[in-house]
Structure formats: structure tokens, C-alpha cells
């Protein structure tokens, strides 16, 4: 009996010596890229209450800590969870519930898919998304004649891939009160032989879009949860949601409370009166993993539909320069409100004229607060003489490298070789500001972060086109691209104290990739082996 007691006491003493401090989770045998300022590497990490307790060499962590949950990462690469700095969860959910027109090779295919969808769903209002006439071997925009024949009585709205143009059938035009005499500021209504073709650009879309009914909440929720699964599979743990409305705040809160939405959502508010009053009432607003402290403003349209506002005429449309979709006066008002409530202003600017206008507008905030981090979303075509304004006024460029390789088919036709020098110029923008916020603009582009990496580093699309890369002098490195999805993404959303790098006290939000992340000539999708948010495993291959 005495002997047994002695053994028991000895075991207790030994285990308390060797057991170390108790934590919730230890991951070891990992190749941990901390993405901290000195880019330190580590092999093991100890986690408690969703936070990082310590990182370090294998033995140091294993000797010092104990846990019921220990994961051997098999030497795989571990990175901070990735953030998509410009995405649209809500439009993607809508896209999932609508006719999927992405990749349709002709107008006939658009019609075929629409008919097939309707025979299954029997909607009272048909909404489709994702067509792109530049894949049809034509430079002309489509007209609604065949759509009218197929659907004479049900309204049909087919939104172009870039979200800046749509094709409506006559039934819908009639409901929206749009005819050949209509004139909508900041928008274009295409006519043929004096009749509306149903092709509407930018603000001309608004009367039609106001009629689009919402999908039932239940359907939306299941679509958003599907999207979360897809993001986690890629190791994406956060999205900067580029433009939501007042009503969507409740939807996100409901998703967080009732349906396990755990990714970090940095949502930008559209500057509607309702949303502005929300900002006035709440200021910087945090609800669990939802953070709201910015306005998304639409400066102009897209280059593909010639809605981007240029300083000089479009190369392929003389006499046409695109338009500002929001007046300078209103944007100035939003800027003042944002300054007052500590909000960030993130303005969509594609054309060189819009970029210049915004850069100058942001000067006002810079004089008050040099670390304002106000963003320009896309910064797609910039007059080379304006690049220095990004550093001069501290303007954060938020870019989507996959746009460069998607648009390379027609970008030069739109703006000509000379202006290409300042287009999709991520290298120059990075050199100016020192950071880039990197995203995809999904569902316009693929969510896959390695598609973005391939576009940013190699300047090639998934088919490795063009050979040698598209304006390859504007490429950035793999490391820079990963920073744009981690630590710079955190800076771009004022979350660098919790997110973006793996350091003591920060959130234990990270991804362990299945395949090693190394510089290679071709980046293929590399899925997460496991994805963790605040110390909890949210995705695992097995």
C-alpha cells in the first residue's frame, strides 16, 4: 500500500513537471510562416481561448505546454488565415440562386441555360448572372429580341459578369418604365433603330434592379453557408464584403448567431441614407466576427462595358469617356461623414479620371490623419503622372490581380497601348504605398487564392495565357501577394492587432495547406489541409 502510494505521488510529481502549462491546442511539426515584421518561421504553436499563447521551435513548445489536443502537421506549411480583401458574399449567394451564365459561349447558350433554369425553378422573376459577350467572338453587346420571344410575360434580368451592365427583356423594361426616351444620369440605355435593346449600363440598371425581388431568406442562408465552406476549403478565413445594405446587417447577425457563420466579415456599407444613419447611431460597429467601419462608394463603372470614367476617349469608342456614377458633391459628403465617424471610405475607381478625382478628394483626410487607410478599390487605370498621389496622400490600393488576366483579352482595345502603362499596375502601386490589399471581386472572378497568386506573380490566366505574362513588369512576388492576403489585408481593415500574422496574443486563425507553398512557374489550386478560426477547427480534409 505504501509502495503504491509512493508510485502514485511520484507519477503526479513527474507529470506536473513534464506536463507543462495546459493549453487548448498544440500544433507541431509545422512550417509556420508567421508573416510578422521579420518574417520569422516557427515549428510549433500553443493556443488557448482562441488566442496564440506562444510560437517557437518544436521542443520549446512541446516541453513547455501540454494539451489534450495535439496535431502533428506533418511538416506542412501553416499561414495566417487568408483574407479576400474585395469579395461579394451576398452577390455570390444571389448568383448561386440565379441562372448561372458564367462561361456561356454564346447568346444561344445564355437562352438555353435560362430556359433550363426556369423549367426547374418556376420563378415569377428570372434573374441570371455572369454572361460575358467577349467570350462569344463578338464586340457587340447583346440585344433582347430572342429573350422577348422566349419570355414575353415574365420579367427577365440577366446581369453581365462585371455587374455593371445587364440585359432586360421588354416585359421588365415596361415594368421599370424605361423606353427609348428615358435618360438616366450616370447610365447608358442602348438603342437600335430607335428602340431599346434591353442592354443597360451602370445607373440605367437601377430602375430595373429596384424591381428584382429578394430570394427567400432560407435559400439565401443556405447559399451563404455553402460559400463559407468553399472559402474555408481554400484557407480563406475573412472577406472584405464590398458593399452591403442596412437590411443585410441583420442577415449577417442571424447567420453568426444561428447558423455558425464564423469567417471574419469586414463589411463596407453602401452610402444610402439608411446606412448613413446607422453609422451616425453606432459609429464603429462590431458584432462578434462582423466589423463595420467603412463606406463603399461607386466612383464609376467597369472597363468591359465602357462605363469606367477616362480622362480621354475610349480607344474603341471615339467621343465616349464613360461617366462618374456618383456625383463629386455626394462623394464629398460621404467623405465628410466618414471623417466624422472614424469610418474608412473605399471607392470603386476604374478609369484614370475617377482615380485622379478620388486621390485628390482623399487629400482632405490625409491632412487630418496621415494613417487614414482610405482605399481605392481596383485602381485599374491610373495616369502614370498620378501614381505619386497614392504615396503623397497615403491612399491604400485594393486590387484584384485576376482582373488583369481576365481583361487582357480586350483591355488594350479599350484604352490603347499608351494608357496600358498605368493599367493593372500592381508593382507600381505597391512601390508607391508599400502595401496592397489583395482580393478577387468574387463572384466576378474565381475565389481560389492561387488563381490570384498566379495572376499576380506570373500575370497569366489559368490556361497560362499569355505566354511570358501580361505586362509582366507589373508582377509582384509570391511573398508580397501572400502579405496582401494576410497582414496587409489586416491593415486595410484596421484589424492588425488581432489578425494577419501569427504572433502572441493574436487570434489563432490560420490555414495549414495540403501542398507546400513555393515559388513555381505555375500555381495550381492548393487546398487547405485544415483551417482554424480562433483556435477552432472549421475545415479539415479528413
Alpha-carbon distance of 511 to 539, in angstroms, equals 9
Separation between Cα atoms, residue 238 and residue 118, nearest integer Å: 34
Binding stretches for Zn ion (CB under 5 A): 242, 441
Q: How many CB atoms lie within 10 A of CB 277?
A: 11
- Euclidean distance between CA atoms 471 and 475, whole angstroms: 8
Give the list of residues 6+ apart from residue 510 with CB closer than 8 angstroms, or none.
78, 79, 80, 81, 237, 502, 531, 532
Least distance from Zn ion to the Cβ atom of residue 163, Å: 7
How many angstroms separate the CA atoms of 169 and 378, rounded?
Answer: 31
| Cell numbers at 468, concatenated | 511570358
Question: CA 277, CA 56: separation in Å to the nearest integer?
Answer: 47
Instruction: Sort 267 into a burial class: Cβ within 10 Å, 0-12 / 13-18 / 19+.
Output: buried
Query: How near is the Cβ of 86 to Zn ion at its closest, in Å?
Result: 6
Residues 193 and 179: their CA atoms lie apart, in Å, by 13
First to last CA, the chain: 47
- Sequence-distant (≥ 6) Cβ neighbours of residue 518 within 8 angstroms: none
CB 523 within 8 A of CB 458: yes
Sheet bearing 41-42, strands edge to edge = 41-42, 31-33, 77-80, 510-513, 528-533, 536-540
Report the distance separating Cα 226 and Cα 173, nearest Å: 33
CA distance 327 to 344: 19
Grid cell at residue 164: 455593371
Amino acid at each position: 500500500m505504501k509502495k503504491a502510494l509512493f508510485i502514485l505521488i511520484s507519477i503526479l510529481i513527474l507529470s506536473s513537471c513534464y506536463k507543462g502549462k495546459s493549453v487548448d491546442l498544440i500544433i507541431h511539426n509545422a512550417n509556420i510562416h508567421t508573416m510578422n515584421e521579420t518574417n520569422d518561421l516557427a515549428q510549433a504553436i500553443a493556443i488557448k481561448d482562441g488566442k496564440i499563447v506562444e510560437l517557437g521551435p518544436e521542443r520549446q513548445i512541446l516541453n513547455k505546454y501540454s494539451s489534450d489536443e495535439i496535431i502533428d502537421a506533418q511538416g506542412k506549411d501553416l499561414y495566417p488565415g487568408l483574407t479576400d480583401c474585395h469579395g461579394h458574399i451576398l452577390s455570390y449567394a444571389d448568383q448561386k440562386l440565379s441562372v448561372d451564365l458564367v462561361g456561356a459561349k454564346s447568346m444561344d447558350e445564355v437562352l438555353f441555360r435560362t430556359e433550363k433554369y426556369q423549367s426547374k425553378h418556376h420563378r415569377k422573376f428570372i434573374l441570371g448572372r455572369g454572361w460575358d459577350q467577349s467570350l462569344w467572338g463578338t464586340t457587340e453587346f447583346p440585344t433582347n429580341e430572342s429573350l422577348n420571344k422566349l419570355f414575353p410575360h415574365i420579367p427577365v434580368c440577366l446581369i453581365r459578369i462585371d455587374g455593371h451592365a445587364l440585359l432586360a427583356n421588354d416585359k421588365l423594361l415596361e415594368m421599370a418604365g424605361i423606353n427609348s426616351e428615358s435618360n438616366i444620369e450616370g447610365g447608358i440605355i442602348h438603342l437600335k433603330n430607335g428602340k431599346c435593346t434591353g442592354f443597360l449600363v451602370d445607373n440605367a440598371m437601377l430602375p430595373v434592379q429596384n424591381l428584382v425581388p429578394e430570394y427567400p431568406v432560407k435559400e439565401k442562408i443556405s447559399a451563404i453557408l455553402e460559400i463559407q465552406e468553399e472559402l474555408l476549403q481554400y484557407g480563406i478565413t475573412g472577406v472584405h464584403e464590398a458593399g452591403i445594405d442596412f437590411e443585410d446587417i441583420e442577415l449577417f447577425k442571424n447567420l453568426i448567431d444561428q447558423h455558425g457563420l464564423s469567417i471574419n466579415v469586414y463589411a463596407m456599407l453602401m452610402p444610402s441614407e439608411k446606412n448613413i444613419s446607422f453609422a451616425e447611431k453606432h459609429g464603429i460597429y462590431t458584432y462578434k466576427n462582423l466589423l463595420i467601419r467603412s463606406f463603399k462608394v461607386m466612383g464609376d463603372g467597369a472597363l468591359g462595358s465602357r462605363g469606367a470614367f477616362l480622362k480621354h476617349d475610349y480607344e474603341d469608342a471615339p467621343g465616349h469617356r464613360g461617366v462618374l456614377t456618383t456625383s463629386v458633391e455626394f462623394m464629398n459628403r460621404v467623405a465628410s461623414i466618414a471623417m466624422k465617424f472614424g469610418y474608412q471610405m473605399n471607392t470603386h475607381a476604374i478609369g484614370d479620371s475617377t482615380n485622379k478625382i478620388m486621390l485628390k478628394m482623399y487629400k482632405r483626410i490625409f491632412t487630418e490623419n496621415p494613417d487614414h487607410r482610405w482605399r481605392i478599390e481596383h485602381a485599374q487605370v491610373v495616369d502614370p503622372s498620378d501614381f505619386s498621389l497614392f504615396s503623397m496622400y497615403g491612399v491604400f490600393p485594393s486590387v484584384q490581380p485576376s482582373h488583369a488576366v481576365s481583361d487582357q483579352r480586350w483591355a488594350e482595345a479599350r484604352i490603347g497601348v499608351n494608357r496600358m502603362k498605368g493599367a493593372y499596375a500592381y508593382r507600381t502601386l505597391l512601390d508607391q504605398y508599400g502595401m496592397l490589399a489583395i482580393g478577387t471581386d468574387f463572384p466576378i472572378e474565381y475565389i481560389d487564392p492561387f488563381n490570384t497568386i498566379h495572376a499576380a506573380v506570373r500575370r497569366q490566366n489559368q490556361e497560362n495565357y499569355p505566354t511570358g505574362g501580361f505586362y509582366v513588369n507589373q508582377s509582384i512576388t509570391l511573398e508580397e501577394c501572400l502579405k496582401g492576403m494576410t497582414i496587409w489585408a489586416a491593415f486595410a481593415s484596421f484589424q492588425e492587432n488581432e489578425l494577419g500574422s501569427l504572433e502572441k496574443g493574436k487570434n489563432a486563425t490560420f490555414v495549414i495547406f495540403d501542398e507546400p507553398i513555393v515559388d513555381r512557374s505555375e500555381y495550381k489550386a492548393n487546398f487547405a489541409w485544415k483551417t482554424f478560426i480562433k483556435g477552432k477547427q472549421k475545415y479539415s480534409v479528413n
